[in-house]
Structure 1
Amino acid sequence: MRLTSIKMAGFKSFVDPTTLDFPTSMVGIVGPNGCGKSNIIDAVRWVMGESSKHIRGDTMEDVIFNGSSTRKPIGQASIELVFDNSDGKLGGEYSSFAEIAVRRQATRDGISKYFLNGTKCRRKDIVQLFLGTGLGPKSYAIIEQGMISRLIDAKPEELRVYLEEAAGISKYKERRRETETRIRHTRENLDRLNDVIEEITKRIEHLQRQAKAAERYKELKAEERKAKTELLALRWQAHQDEVQERKNAMEHKETESQKVVADIRGIEAEIEKLREQHADETGKFNEVQGNYYKLGGEISRVEQSISHVKELNSRYDEELKQVQDAWAQSEKGLIDEQTKFTDLENKIAEVEPKLNAAREELDTNSEKLGEAESKMAKWQDAWETLSVKIAEPAQIIEIEASRIEYLENHLEQLAERKDKLLEDLHRFSQHKSSKQSEDFVSRVNETSTALQAISPKIIELSKSISAGRDTSQTLGVQLEKAREHLQTKQTELSSLQALQRVVLGEEGKDVSRWLDQHGLSDAPRLMDRMKTEAGWEAAVETVLGDYLEAVCVDELSQIASSVKDIKTGRMMVLSQSTSKSSQPDQALGGTLVSKVKAPVDLTDKLGNIFVAKDVQSALQKSGSLEAGQSVITKDGVWLGAGWLRVSRIAANKGNVLQRKNEILSLEKEVQAQQDAIIKMVSDLEVCQRELYKNEKQRDTVQASLSNAQKVHAQAEAEMSGWESEKEHVGRQEEQLRDYLDDVNRQFKQSEEELEDSRSSKQQADSVLEGLDIERKSLLEQRDSAAFHLDGVRSEEVERRDSTHRLALNLESYRSSLNATHAALDRMKEQSGQLKEREQSLHLSIEDGSAPLVELNEKLKEYVDQRVKIEHSLADARMVAQKTEELVRSKQEHNVETQRNLEQLRNELNELQLAWQEANVRSKTVQEQLHEYDVAPEAVLDGLDEEATLQKWEEKTEKLERKINRLGPINLAAIGEYEEHNERKEYLDKQHEDLTSALEILEDAIRKIDKETKDRFKDIFDNVNSHLQAMYPRLFGGGKACLEMTGDDLLTTGVSIMARPPGKRLSSIQLMSGGEKALTAVALVFSLFELNPAPFCLLDEVDAPLDDANVARFCDLLKDMSERVQFIYITHNKNTMEYANQLLGITMHEPGVSRIVSVDVDAAAEMVAV
């Protein structure tokens, strides 16, 4: 494997595209200081992945040419190393490539890209390519200025790196580092997986309880569904009964309606009979009326005839006058036409001689015209002969002119196409150097960052949801317990209240009725209005007894008069307005009235009863009692002067006041419990809303994550597509260059054809110029002959027009003469007809006067007959009107009957609506049953005969209460429980897989460590052996060796011990610069002996050596160049002599490095010649 060339562009001082070829195994690079020699070393290290700060720069921009005094900065730097891999030293997938090109590009925006054989890749791919080959940005194969001292002064751990590279351990370390990373990630995944499994386990336990509640809920819902279907069936049956009832009522109304319809039909028959009678009478009336109208028509006709005769006589008189005027006008016109006829005969006799003379002159001129036309025909033959001679060169000129125009247009099109191709090439070049790739990389990085930002949110929300579910479950359990406790207390309170009502409800029916009549049934009782000190209930109840049940009123006077209405029962009423009695002497202590607070004054009942702690105290006080006074203990033992009373309530009744206090206490407790339940329900709702919000937010974030993943995948796809498009653009660019070459070839060919066409056109123009003289002569002859012919033709036209005008005039006169003659005949005939019409009109006027007398007599006769008919018409009209009034009466009766029918029909419609409503309700219930997928008949068949609507409504309400007592139910808990179980099984499988993978990775670590130890031990022994042999060869004596600083072969450092000949140095730091350099070279060449790198770069390594050491150094290079390619930078002439090729670096232009290459062997041969 050899480095064949380095291609640089825009890298540091190599601004122009520069290629350094290395065809031999020893290449020397020479040049003055500062000309850019070391930039070549930096370029090799940079393209292998070294960062800018390790190659004499701070940022990525420092490796890009930054301009000079004559040049502007550029925006991109590119380095490409081309290797000859024909020996297949680079293994793996690139072993089959004979040539391998590694390229790196950088732009000023900080984007760095790597390419391997033209394909974009990662920096990691480049580093892995050279692992184990001895090459790399920090390998022992590249020794730059200052590295000699760093190699000798290196720490043991740093020196170990060079041995590892020579041993090929670096790739094992890289694999170990990757394996450790995988182990760390696997353990982190295991920790997260354990957390998830623990969370899911808790969730499964919680869901299991919810699933049981959901199952109970489903059972109750099934029972409720059955009860509801049965309830609906009972309702359907009730509706069906109502439908039948409405149907029967409808049938009854229908019968009544049919009866009324029969009555209407009878009335209508009578009306029809009367209408027939009325029709007969109307017919007679119409007959008389027809005669009347007929006679009136005759009268009108006679009157019209009289008027017509008079009008006709008037028209005859008028027409006679018109005929007389027309005859006079006709006689006058006949005289005018006779005069016109005579004038026309005279004009015809004058024109006929002139027409004959004009025709003779026209014949003479026609002969002259024939001679002129014959002369013109001869000229035409000569012109056609000349035209044939001119046509051939003219055609050539026209063809060549068209071809010239086509070629000129074609050349313009080719020029435009060429410009377009150049523009496309420029655009493609810009596309190749655009920043779109960096944008795609940036977008991929952004989407990746977005994915990493969303994942923690989902984990956090999942934890919040889990905590919320636990809280919700806890609150649900607490709420259920609180409801159970509340139900217990409510039951206990209901029992006490019922017992209290039983104990107090002994007034009797008369008393209860009396209290209701006077509005006192809800009036407060004394025990409800009074408050007793705790512990004294028994004593107060013993004393007051029935007073506790007393009704409290404002004034006794309001009800005293009505007490007589109570026949049976007992009752006590206390007035709240009673004045307070005086208090007894308090020497014996407090009285029982002090233990009670009531709106009624109880002093007269309790004021003389003193209180005592126990019976002994009471006995002591009883000796000091006055008349009417007594003493009582807390437990109800009542003592007086010579008497003792003990009152114990039966167990089934209990103490009324004590029970009252218990009821009050329970009511407060129930109210407090209800408030607590409301708060719990509110807290639970808040928790569930927060849980729902978190779950919704998690779904949203999950959707965002999915969207981000899609965007990330799309960005990667777009970047890949852009890379493909870039390759496609490259292929298109090659095609465009081929098209451009073809356009250039066509352009040159078209220019040659254009020149040929122009030459042919010029020759044809010369021939055409010779024929043009003959053409001009013929044109002059044509002008003379044409002038003579035009004169003769003009004269011919004038004579022909004159003759034609005379002929037209003669013909016009003759036509007018014939027309005048015909008009004379027509006017004579018209005059005779007018005379005959005049005579006829005189006769008609005489005949028209006779009929008027006869018509007037007939008119008088008709008028007398009309008067008689009018009397008959009045009699017939009166009979018809009477019959019509009878019909109208029957119709009114019919309308009333129909109104009754309409009312019946309205009632029937209302019944039908009621029936439809009942039917709709029945169908609605039936449809509800169909929703349950059951038939009402089937449900009713399965019910007991005692089943009633009320019982089933109570049954349904009871089931609803049971369901409500279950509280909030998570119906999805069953599915979630199964889903979480499946997920837990899947996670357990993942846990097992991760554990197995962790074991495999740990085993791989152990194998890598074993391989690393074995390889390191072998390389250490071999390098140490070669160093011991190489050192004396370079120094001419002395000895050197390697030593380990520790026992662990995985971590131990390596130090170098050296002693130049004749010296005993305690430390290698005491060596001179030349000794250090030779020692470092000995170590590097020892490494090369063991694992030779493809090439070795040396930057002024020989600078500190004297001539003798340089000679030994160069001899060693010469020997090793058979196996290793050496590229070295030197200022030493002796070292230059050993090079097969010298590359000179110059800086003729300030700030810009250029290459001058000299093949030493070829130069030597030229000198020898």
Structure 2
Amino acid sequence: MRLKSLKLAGFKSFANPTTFTFKHDITAIVGPNGCGKSNVIDAIRWVLGETSAKQLRGGAMSDVIFAGVEGRAGKSLASVELTFEHTQDESSGIRHALNLYQELTLRRQVTKDGKSDYFINGQRVRRRDVVDVFLGTGLGARSYAVIEQGMIGRIVDSSPMELRSFIEEGAGVSRYQARRDETQKKLDEARDNLERLSDLQGELKKQQRTLMRQAESAKRYQELSDELAKINKEDLLKRIFEAWQYHEHKKTQQVSSSESLNALETVANKAKVELERLSNKVAEGQWLKDDARDKYHNAQMAEQTAQHNFYTLNQELSQADDKIQRLTLIKTEAQDGIAHATKELTKLNEERASIEPSLKVLGDQLTQKQAELKQLQGNWQSIRDDVNTLQAQKNTLENAQKLAESQKSRVLANREKWIKKHNELVLSFESIGKENSADADELTRLAGEIKTLSLRQESLADDDDKDKLDEMTKTVQSLQSSHATLEKRHTALASEYDILHQMVHAKPKAEETSAKADDFSHLTRLKDVVRLSRQGESFAGVLDGFLGFWMDAKIFDDLALKAALAAPSTKDKQASRAIFKTGGGYGVNDSNLIAFGQLFDAPRLKLFDACYLLDEELDEQALSRLSDQITDGRLILTKTGWLIGSFGVIHGSSFGAESSLLSQKAEHSKRLGQLEDELGALEDELEQSEKTLKTHTAQLEALKIAQDEKSAQMAVVLSSLHKVQQAHTTLQAKIQTDAIKRENFAKNKAALDEEKEEIGSELKVLESQIADSIQQLSEHLPRFESAQNTMTAMTKSMDELNAQVKALTDEYQGLQLKNSTLTQALTHTQRLLELAQKNLSQAETDIQAVKDNEKNLTAKLPQLEAAFKDAKAQTAALKIISEEHEAAAKALQLMQVKLQENLTEAHTNFAKAQAEAAQITADTAVGESRLIDLGDEMMRIDEGFNLPSMLADFRAKTPKFKDNTARIDAIKADIAKLGAVNLAAAQELAELEERVSPMDTQINDITESMAKLKDAISAIDEKTKALFLSALDAVNAELNSLFTKVFGGGQASLALIDDENLTKADKWRAGLVLMAQPKGKKNSRLAVLSGGEKTLTALSLIFAIFKQHPAPFCVLDEVDAPLDDANVGRFTSLIHELADSVQFIFISHNKLAMQIADELKGITMPTAGISSLVTVNLEEAEKYIES
């Protein structure tokens, strides 16, 4: 099977439909960075079922769809299709139901919403189907067949379980693992179903027990309810009688109540008329009282108004006097403020005039000093620039001197190193000469030892013993299988034999001798003891028809017969049908007849002595003639089923009793004979098989011991040979290195002499440079120091002048501040003077206005006082009139209240009597209704009940009733003890039992299914273990071979880690660790290997897996990036070696790697963001160039 083509449409940068065809064994995909080469790898992994967008360098699965570029819209769908050919090959094909043809096409497409669809040969399938198709082929989204960028490094650094997954895929374990997972899933589901079913069964059985108790309670409840209903019927009659008595009593009370009610109504009407007359008088007196009270209240309001006006005027006059006093005080304060402000203005003007001359003089002095300071600062800046220039020149000279001295120190150190290297070179040359002869002798010795060990290895590597061991192992396994088959068959036959033997030779149970005379239950039935002879087995069918009716009959001896005859005559008829005696023979001499005694080995019955079997065919006339010749008491049975006697001829089928017992026993006897023969032959065969098996097992153990000894010797020889070869290789390399060192000695010595001359020349130049630097520095220092002193003196003068300027500035600013303060105080005082003058004017105006208002109020005061006095007198007169009318109204109201009380009492008595009458009427109606209800209730219980007839009986004669209260309470107590009763419990119990009964069968079925699933898992585990360990050994052998070839020596291997969490039997399930030791290195830790060494180690592992289990193709993405040219050559040689069995597709930038390809596929990006394909067939290109 091989990859034929890859089609991409709208996938990542492949916006246009692009088809990659793979016609050759090695195809290289090349192109500049960023052109989309790795997208081809992503497409292959994606179509094989990759579900992680992160693994495809995206954030979501929809990111694989072409997103669009400038001038080109994005796609809404991405599609990738792989086509394989020769998929039905016997060796490397795909064995799956979906692989129907020699070509298999796998397609996956995704839409913008991230939904993926899979197709195999155009048929829509699930992702699981895609994975299942390629199980065991080495292909998959993350298998060892597709190596992306960076994956080589991850393989070396992968965890033990990740490394194990590669070997499992290479071993073809994945298909078994999938089957195991599916079987385990079924087992888990079966276990869950069993647990649920067991829980359900337990719960249902609990419910069953509960329902059984509830059914008993419901039965008891029904019994009590029936009894209670009977008693309630009697009690209901009693209540009907009581209700009738109550109704009659209430009818009598109703007549008496009606007469009392009429008398009370007359009294109430009379009191009502008197009350209405008095109420009119009360209303008139109330009106007069209210009118007088209104006039009195109006007079009171007028008095209060006059009083308020008088008091308010007095208050306003008092407030006017207070306000005049406050305004007079404000006027005085304003006059004092004017005087103080005028005095303060005069003082401030005098102080301000005294400051102005001094302020002017200080300003002139400050201006002069500032000008001097500015000039001095300019001179100082110029001097400072000169000093900085001289300082820079001084620093340059000093740095040049230090640099020259540093270089001199370096040259001196180089001279010391040269001396050391020269001495070492001389010593090394002398030691090489001494060691050369000794190494040559050791090399000769090692070559001889290698030859000896190689011959020993060849002798131990003879495969004859291993072939014998394998052949013997297969033979023993075959013998064990055959022996196990024989044992199973023997067990099955022996079991069948025991069962049949018990059925044919069953013995009746021991009989009790103390049984009663009329009790036949202890007697043996005929079918339990009847046994045909060899001769009788031939006629089992016809004998079944004859004896079928009596198979359940009991057999007893003479003692039992006598006991039966002595029993009461009521049992005679029952015993007559079961009486059969055992006794002596009774035969005939006719040669055509066979006595029944010859047909049965047991029992010996009297009946058999008078019966014969005719072993020949007779027609109806012959049968009739023969019946005439038979004497009384004799029976002849033909083999066709006719029974002949003195009574005539009848057929056995007319007995109406069908039985196959004798036929079955005949068949069982025949089968027992067959089983005895088969078991005898089988036991002989088992004995012979066991002897053969023991012999071959002993031979196998001997071969294993010999093979183990040989393997141990081989391991010792290989270890010794490896060590000697390594020592030989190391010594050869050392001799070659020494030879190169001798050749390089003269070159190295000449180079050292040349280096010595260069050091001397450089030292002289540096010493001259140091002397020049010292001289220039001594000439420069006086000028620098003079300029520095001048700048120091000018700095001092400038500091003094700065102090003078600061003092003048502080004094000038102080005077300015004082002048500003006086100006602000002068302004403030002027504002205070203006405010005081304004307040004085306002106070004088307000005082005059208040005095005018006070004069007007004084004039109104007498008038308001007179009005107040008149209102007060009128209020007193009206108060007297109001009190007189109120007294008269109260007297009338008292009379009205008394009459009202009399009327209320009359109404109360009437209402009470009316209520009693209504109550009696209601009680009468209730009694009648209750009587009717009780009658209806009785009619529901007893349809023949007639209430009027019953009442007539009550009137005629008073009945007597028992008191059933105690019994009713007892029954209710019993019902209460039962608690809540489920009346449907019996039906629910029956339904529940129908559900519970089939559950045992279901549980047994599930248990058997689980056992089969566990056996299947065990078989899969055994197969998986064998495949994995076999693949691990094969991969280890290939890995060590490829590693040695790539590195020119060294060793590499995979080993199972020691996982303490695993049992001894499961140690093979542990993860793997990769160990590598390149040639010349002692450490085997992968972490210390270089990038190139890690890459070659990982490639050795991948190619070792391919050698063990070749996948249809291998895709490599820039795995040669960390390799130099030499290692790239080794990498390409590995590809060439495997290209015959594996189709290679690799991405590379390396020209050496490209050279091995049969076809180059170039990926370009003529339009930004859109990849295009260019294909070059190298063979055709070479032919074109040659032509």
Q: Above 0.5 in TM-score?
A: no
